[in-house]
Structure 1
Amino acid sequence: MDNIKETIIEVVQSILPITIVITVLQFTLIWLPTETFIQFLIGVLMVGIGLILFLLGVNIGMLPIGEMIGSALSKTKIIWLIVFFGFLLGAVVTIAEPDVRVLSTQVDQVSNGEISKTILILAVAIGVGIFVALSLMRIIFSIPITYILAGGYGMIFILAAFTPSTFVPISFDAGGVTTGPLTVPFIMALGVGVASVLRGKSASQDGFGLIALASLGPILSVLILGVIYG
């Protein structure tokens, strides 16, 4: 019950500022049609209810199951199994990410279907999956995160020079949308679960950084997609 109360307070505090600002603008500067403003208020209410249910779902289901899966995989001591399921889970959770679908729909509309929605989602999902797998390998083999970040961004700058200019901003947006409300909690919990079981690993030091690395994957995959389309 306390968890529900805290979640409601958190959501209200999150959406109240933007509601107040738009309400003030409505009655001072912009004067939107009454029907539009009422639709906005209804939308705010629906967003609030949706966020409450979503956050409760994350806390009750996504975070615990992510840690449990990470712990269970680590206990097998089979490296290829940990890496394979890291890739698979990273890819499928990205496909379900709402932000990725919004981006792919926008790109599909703006490009008049030249950059397919399905192709973009699959490219982003594969990129995230590969880098989640690399992140788990980093935890297992104690590879410094700076090495992977430096190598990843080096490859990004090189690919950007050979990719059509229209794909560069899309690629960086793709890296941003993967840090959405569905992907982040699950992947972070997965990393913490893996690190908490492996001997000599710190859940606070080794379990984090997966999101930073997972964001590199979509950028690289979309840039490669640009090279192919180009």
Structure 2
Amino acid sequence: MYKDIKEGLLEVIQAVLPITLVVVLLQVFLISMPWLLFSRFLIGVVMVMIGLFLFLQGVKIGLLPMGEAIGAELPKRGSLFFLLFFAFILGFTVTMAEPDVRVLAHQVDFVSDGFVNRNILILFVAIGVAVFVTLAMLRIVMNLPIAYVLAGGYVLILVLSFFTPADFVPISFDAGGVTTGPVTVPFILALGLGVTAVLGGRSSFSDGFGLIGLASIGPVLGVMILGIIYS
């Protein structure tokens, strides 16, 4: 237990310390922000480190084991539909809980003066992730090369980009980025590794990974489709 805490603290320090040092150097030698603002930054750094440490411990203790357990249990039910259905549900609900997605939706809603409703944007992003998590599970079960699925997804993105309003194209690609956040990534990765572990003759390296790459295609397509609907 002590070793895990020590490793967690080291990870947090390595993650936060570089950007902290850069800001401190800029403050001392270049920017000279008001010290009240700079002190708030330092307090924020401490709070981020505490929160990140607790989050990482929560991921290791709860999210990863639960994701692997669910992924290992679903294929044992013997129904492909059962596996794909719950892969869709899990992909949808995990994305709805992703804080990065909500930050993007809030910013888009603010900049567009409410024209693009944040809840609708979150809904389309979550559906996009859910669909491609489902396709990723189907790829693992059917043992399809990931290159074919990725190529098909990006060709579809390229085609839709010609029909999507220009304002929605950059939002769609940002949506693909924010879904690779701290809640979605560990759970979906663990889910894929759990499914791969119980399928005979499968490699955890070649089949268990790649889910995040596939899942990030879904929100791009989802927001593009939303843009076409709005237009």
Q: Does the alignment reach a TM-score above 0.5?
A: yes
**How do 1:204-215 and structure 2 match up within 5 A?**
204-215=205-216
Match of 1:131 in 2: 132
Match of 1:105 in 2: 106
C-alpha deviation, 1:194, in angstroms: 0.2
Structure 1 Cα separation of the partners of residues 51 and 22 of structure 2 = 21
Structure 2 Cα separation of the partners of residues 20 and 149 of structure 1 = 39
Structure 2 Cα separation of the partners of residues 37 and 212 of structure 1 = 37
Give the SS at the match of 2:216.
Answer: helix
C-alpha deviation, 1:200, in angstroms: 1.8
Structure 1: give runs of 5+ residues left out of the alignment.
Answer: none
Give the SS at the match of 2:204.
Answer: coil
Give the SS at the match of 2:200.
Answer: coil
Structure 2 Cα separation of the partners of residues 191 and 182 of structure 1 = 15
Structure 2 Cα separation of the partners of residues 13 and 201 of structure 1 = 35
Match of 1:57 in 2: 58
**How do 1:4-153 and structure 2 match up within 5 A?**
4-153=5-154
C-alpha deviation, 1:17, in angstroms: 1.1
- Deviation sequence 1:89-110 (CA, Å, 0-9, x none): 0110001001100000000000
Q: Percent same amino acid among aligned pairs?
A: 60
Cα RMSD, aligned residues only: 0.6
TM-score normalised over the length of structure 2? 0.98
Structure 2: give runs of 5+ residues left out of the alignment.
Answer: none
Structure 1 Cα separation of the partners of residues 17 and 27 of structure 2 = 15
Q: Which runs of 4+ in 1 moved over 3 A?
A: none
- Deviation sequence 1:87-138 (CA, Å, 0-9, x none): 1001100010011000000000001000000000000000000000000000
TM-score normalised over the length of structure 1? 0.99
- Deviation sequence 1:201-226 (CA, Å, 0-9, x none): 11221111100000000000100001
- Deviation sequence 1:32-81 (CA, Å, 0-9, x none): 00100000000000000000000000000000000000000011121001
Count of residues in correspondence between the two structures:
230
Give the SS at the match of 1:143.
Answer: coil
